[in-house]
C-alpha cells in the first residue's frame, strides 16, 4: 500500500522535471532539484490567471498562461501595468497612488507627474523573462538632468529657473539653470542685486530664447533732474534722492541752505544783494557761506542825512538794505540854500529870498547908512560899503522886526 502511494506522489515530480527540461541531476534523481531550477518563482506575473505551484515549496509558482513577469512587457505600453503596485498610471489613464487612493489621470503630485509616459521607458532586450517579454527599464535623463520623484525634487537657488527635458520612466527630467545675461526671473534678480525692484523692472514680453521664465531686465529711470553720474559745480553738491536706476543710486545737484545772514555770493544777501552788501570772508558758516556785511554809503551820501545846505534826495546807492541820501541845493541865487533851519552866527540873520521863496541865506547886519523901513517890512535897497545892493532889513536876534542884542543902535537898517 505504501509503495503505491509513494509512486503517485513521485509521478508528477518526474513529469514536471521532464517537462521543464531541468538539469540532468534531476533526471538521474541523485539530487533533488530546487524550485528555482525547475522554473518556479515567488514573483507574481501581471495578468496571470493560472499558476502551477512547486511541490517542494508552494511559495514558488509558475504561470501557465505564459504571461510576462512583473516589470516585464512585450511592448513599451505594456510597462504601464506596473502602476498597480507602484503609483504609476495604468492603461486606463487613471493614477493609482501608493496606499490605494485613486485620482484622475494627468495630475501632478508633489511636483511629480504620476501619469504614464511611454517616452520615458525602454525594453532591455538583454533581460528576457523566457516568455517573450523584456524588462521595462527607465531611460536615462540627458546629461546634467535629474529624474524627479516624490523623494528627489530638484531645488533651485534664488534667481534660477527649472528646465525640463524628457522623462526617465514616469519621472520628469529637470535641472536648475541660470538665466542668460540681462535676463532674470524677476526684477529682484536683475543686475548685481543691489538695486533690485527699486532700480529694475522686467519686460515680460521679451523672453530669453529657450529659457521660459527668463525676462529682459530693464533699468528704471531716475526722477526728473537726477542721474546716477552727477557732475555738480560749486556751491552745489551731489545728494542721494533715495531712488535707483538699475544698480546705481540716483543723485541731484543741490545747494545747501546757508545760515541766516550768510551767503555764497553778495548777490544772495538780503533784498539789495551786492548793491548794498559785501561778503566778510573772515566769517564763514558750516556750509561754506560767508557773513553778509553792509556796504558804506559813498562819500557825500548818508543813510539819515541832516542837510545843512539843500534837501535830502535818494541815490542809487545802498548801505545794507537802506537807501543812501545826498543833500541837493536847488536854489540858483547866489548864497541861498534850501534850508530854513540854517543856524546863522554873529550879527547875521536868516533871510529868505524874494526871488526864490524857500531859499535862505545868512545876511550880515550893517549899522550905517540908515534907510526908512516902513512898518518894519518895507523893501528898499541899500548899497553896502563894498558896492553890493541888498534889501533893507532889520538885524535882530529873532529875525526881521525886533531888537538885536548887542547892536550899537536899535533899530538899524540899511
- pLDDT at position 138, please? 93
- pLDDT at position 320, please? 94
- pLDDT at position 344, please? 74
Written in H, E and C, the secondary structure of the chain is CHHHHHHHHHHHHHHHHHHHCCCHHHHCCCCCCCCCCCCCECCCECCCCCEEECCCCCCCEEECCCCCECCEECCHHHHHHHHHHHCCECCCCCEECCCCCEECCCCEECCEECCCCHHHEEEEEEEECCCCCEEEEECCCCCCCEECECCECCCCCCCEEEEEEEEECCEEEEEEEECCCCEECCHHHCCCCCCHHHHEEEEEEEECCCCCCCEEEEECCCCCCCECCCCCCCCCEEEEEEEEECCEEEEEEECCCCCCCEECCHHHCCCCHHHCEEEEEEEECCCCCEEEEECCCCCCCECCCCCCCCEEEEEEEEECCEEEEEEECCCCCCCCECCCCCCCCCCEEEEECCCCCCCEEEEECCCCCCCCCHHHCCCCEEECCCCCEEECCECCCCCCCCCCCCCCCCCCEC
219 within 8 A of 231, measured Cβ to Cβ:
no
- Per-residue pLDDT of the chain (414 residues), as tens digits, is 333 333 333 333 333 333 344 333 444 556 888 898 888 889 887 767 677 788 888 899 877 766 677 888 878 888 875 433 333 332 222 222 232 222 223 333 333 446 888 999 999 988 888 777 889 999 999 998 888 876 666 678 877 888 888 999 988 898 888 899 999 989 999 988 888 899 999 999 999 988 888 999 999 999 998 999 999 887 788 889 999 999 999 999 988 888 999 998 999 999 999 999 999 999 998 888 999 999 999 998 999 877 777 788 899 999 999 999 998 888 888 888 887 777 776 556 677 888 888 888 877 655 444 444 444 444 445 555 666 665 555 444 344 443 334 443 333 433
- pLDDT at position 256, please? 81
- pLDDT at position 91, please? 29
- pLDDT at position 269, please? 93
Sign of CA dihedral 403, 404, 408, 413: negative
Q: What is the pTM of this model?
A: 0.39
Amino acid at each position: 500500500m505504501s509503495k503505491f502511494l509513494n509512486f503517485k506522489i513521485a509521478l508528477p515530480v518526474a513529469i514536471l522535471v521532464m517537462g521543464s527540461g531541468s538539469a540532468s541531476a534531476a533526471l538521474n534523481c541523485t539530487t533533488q532539484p530546487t524550485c528555482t531550477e525547475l522554473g518556479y518563482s515567488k514573483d507574481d506575473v501581471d495578468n496571470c490567471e493560472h499558476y502551477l505551484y512547486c511541490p517542494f515549496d508552494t511559495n514558488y509558482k509558475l504561470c501557465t498562461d505564459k504571461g510576462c513577469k512583473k516589470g516585464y512587457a512585450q511592448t513599451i505600453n505594456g510597462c504601464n501595468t506596473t502602476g498597480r503596485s507602484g503609483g504609476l498610471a495604468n492603461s486606463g489613464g487613471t493614477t493609482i497612488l501608493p496606499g490605494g487612493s485613486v485620482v484622475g489621470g494627468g495630475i501632478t503630485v508633489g511636483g511629480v507627474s504620476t501619469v504614464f509616459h511611454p517616452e520615458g521607458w525602454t525594453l532591455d532586450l538583454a533581460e528576457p523573462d523566457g516568455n517573450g517579454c523584456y524588462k521595462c527599464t527607465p531611460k536615462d535623463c540627458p546629461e546634467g538632468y535629474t529624474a524627479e520623484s516624490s523623494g528627489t525634487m530638484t531645488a533651485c537657488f534664488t534667481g534660477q529657473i527649472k528646465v525640463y527635458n524628457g522623462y526617465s520612466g514616469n519621472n520628469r527630467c529637470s535641472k536648475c539653470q541660470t538665466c542668460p545675461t540681462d535676463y532674470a526671473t524677476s526684477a529682484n534678480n536683475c543686475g548685481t542685486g543691489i538695486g533690485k525692484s527699486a532700480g529694475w523692472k522686467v519686460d515680460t514680453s521679451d523672453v530669453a530664447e529657450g529659457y521660459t521664465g527668463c525676462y529682459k531686465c530693464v533699468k528704471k529711470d531716475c526722477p526728473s533732474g537726477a542721474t546716477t553720474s552727477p557732475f555738480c559745480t560749486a556751491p552745489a553738491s551731489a545728494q542721494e534722492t533715495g531712488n535707483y536706476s538699475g544698480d546705481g543710486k540716483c543723485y541731484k545737484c543741490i545747494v545747501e541752505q546757508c545760515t541766516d545772514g550768510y551767503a555764497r555770493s553778495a548777490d544772495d544777501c538780503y533784498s539789495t544783494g551786492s548793491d548794498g552788501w559785501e561778503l566778510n570772508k573772515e566769517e564763514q558758516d558750516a556750509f561754506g557761506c560767508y557773513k553778509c556785511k553792509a556796504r558804506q554809503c559813498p562819500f557825500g551820501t548818508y543813510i539819515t542825512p541832516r542837510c545843512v545846505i539843500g534837501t535830502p534826495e535818494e541815490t542809487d546807492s545802498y548801505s545794507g538794505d537802506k537807501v543812501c541820501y545826498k543833500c541837493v541845493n536847488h536854489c540858483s541865487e547866489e548864497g541861498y540854500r534850501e534850508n530854513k533851519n540854517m543856524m546863522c552866527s554873529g550879527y547875521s540873520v536868516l533871510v529868505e529870498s524874494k526871488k526864490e521863496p524857500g531859499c535862505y541865506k545868512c545876511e550880515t547886519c550893517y549899522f550905517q547908512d540908515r534907510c526908512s523901513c516902513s512898518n518894519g517890512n518895507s523893501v528898499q535897497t541899500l548899497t553896502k560899503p563894498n558896492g553890493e545892493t541888498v534889501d533893507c532889513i532889520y538885524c535882530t536876534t529873532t529875525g526881521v522886526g525886533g531888537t538885536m542884542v548887542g547892536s550899537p543902535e536899535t533899530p538899524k537898517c540899511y
